Structure 1
């Protein structure tokens, strides 16, 4: 959530990995706090979901996009924020995902195609249908659209590109030197009244 990265920097972090975050019930991680971290010499890597989005947006300032999803956003192959969005269940139940991210639907359809469990025509129809669904409605049952056989195939062969990218980020973090380094040349962090207020909150 907004302020977490700023707090980590103030607490002395030298390496930060961003994977996911809230964006409706709470304010999302702010670009400004990522830039603050980079300006302080903190290595910031992003992958999978919110991390992939922010990494693509802040790559020119030194944030590192990790994994297939982040690189797709970076190079313009993916441009819809909702492609990584999920609806989650209540926190008291462990916040289980209730829907499928579009990037994971694509990964699952690729697996089904590679294993020759569906035809290219069926995969295209399924992907078009998935893209037509609002992210909060993109459940496996909604994806199956009345085709019980497809729903079963999907569940049995489900793939998660978000998970793969998150694991890649964790591996990269283990290989990142844990010390602050000079920020990239060519830009300076510009504060503001609003940023100063945000720092006051982060220090609490």
Structure 2
């Protein structure tokens, strides 16, 4: 039996956050590329009973629509979100039953993190293993927090580095550009700081995504939670459902 057929009921949309997701999931979960508008609807129509949203495309294509997540939830599916686009959508849809997982989801849910681009990064295509070319701000912050907690860098240095990182466009964010723009004391050793940051890098997005994959692999059967809302079949939704975007 093909691997996808054997695991067709649990689907995860993931790419640059966990490039090796297929090896990690084995045959328990169907791994699909980052989601775009219509992909979650398509997964529901194909018979999925649980969906994990980690990565999603957004810049040159229409992103995952909240409405298709609500549709999945209204049909009794478990929908999990973490790490990247999944964390964003979970923070926006958790009141309807979407399950957010991980530190980044909690940061969005509590308002500690607000900007959608804080999880974004520039990366190579799937054919080149989604290699990361820039740093997501959420990982920069997690790295600074851990190093400051371990007293590997001073709190004021961490704050200056974080401000510099936040000021950069996500496609330009690297340790070199961050440190170059940081307002550090004149006697700060920028080379030593760069070495420390690279060595102590915390990939919070990957950690949260792995937690989602582990949880998704444990799910058996439909969701049993009580639903206190009704899905509204709008005309725009009907058009999407009847004619979903073609998968590129």
- TM bracket, shorter-chain basis: over 0.9
Q: For residue 192 of structure 1, what is the aligned residue in structure 2? A: 234
Return 5+ residue gaps in structure 2 as ranges: 1-35, 182-189
Moved over 6 A (4+): none
Higher normalized contact order (CA 8 Å, seq sep 6+, divided by chain length)? 1
Q: Is the 8 A contact 2:101 2:212 kept in 1?
A: yes
Q: Distance in 2 between matches of 1:180 and 1:74?
A: 25
How far residue 203 of structure 1 moved from its aligned partner, in angstroms, is 9.2
How far residue 182 of structure 1 moved from its aligned partner, in angstroms, is 5.6
Structure-2-length-normalised TM-score:
0.77
Please list the CA deviations of residues 101-157 of structure 1 after superposition, one character each: whole Å capped at 9, or x if unmatched.
111001111222233221111111111111111111111211221722222211111
Distance change in 2, residues 1:8/1:119 (3 Å)? same
Q: Is the 8 A contact 2:164 2:179 kept in 1?
A: no
Q: Is the 8 A contact 1:61 1:184 kept in 2?
A: no
Return 5+ residue gaps in structure 1 as ranges: none
Question: 1:154 and 2:189 equivalent?
Answer: no
Question: 1:72 and 2:107 equivalent?
Answer: yes
Query: What count of residue pairs does the alignment treat as equivalent?
Result: 203
Q: Matched residue of 2:243: which SS? A: helix
CA RMSD of aligned residues (A): 1.8
Q: Distance in 2 between matches of 1:162 and 1:203?
A: 28
Q: For residue 57 of structure 2, what is the aligned residue in structure 1? A: 22
